[in-house]
Amino acid sequence: MEKNDRPLGVGEIAHELGCSEKTVRRLYAKGMIEAYKIGGRTSPIRMERKALERLKQKRGDCGDDG
């Protein structure tokens, strides 16, 4: 698996979108991003790079960090 193929974590997603990790978690909780958890409730959020690229094209940056 190439580096670009591995799932991204919350920190990487936030960095790519220009928002906070809290915002990424909030978007995930609302079902607004194409991300997933492999385990239970406390498992880390993961996102495929392709899904991140689609999201970036669709919405630009998060822009709602406060």
Record the pTM: 0.80
Which tokens hold the place of 6?
Answer: 């591995």
Task: Give domain status of residue 64, yes or no.
Answer: no
- Examine residue 21 and state whether it is found in any structural domain, yes or no: yes
Residue 36 inside a domain? The answer is yes
- Complete DSSP assignment for 6-63: SPB-HHHHHHHHTS-HHHHHHHHHTT-S--B-SSSTTSPPBB-HHHHHHHHHHH-S--
Nearest CA to 25 out of 6, 40, 44, 39 is that of 44
Whether 38 maps to a domain, the answer reads yes
What pLDDT does residue 66 have?
A: 44
Of 8-12, 14-18, 31-35, 54-58, give the lowest mean pLDDT range: 54-58
Tell me the residue range of the domain where 48 lies. Answer: 3-59
Bridge partners of 36, per DSSP, are 46
What is the tens place of the pLDDT at every residue in 19-64? Answer: 999 999 999 999 999 999 989 889 999 999 999 999 998 875 555 5
Q: Considering its fold, how many domains does the chain have in total?
A: 1
Query: Residue 50's domain is classified under what CATH number?
Result: 1.10.10
Q: Is the Cβ–Cβ distance between 7 and 1 less than 8 Å? A: no
Within-domain flag for 43: yes
More confident residue, 40 or 10: 10
Residue 26 domain-assigned (yes or no): yes
Q: Provide the pLDDT for residue 45.
A: 96
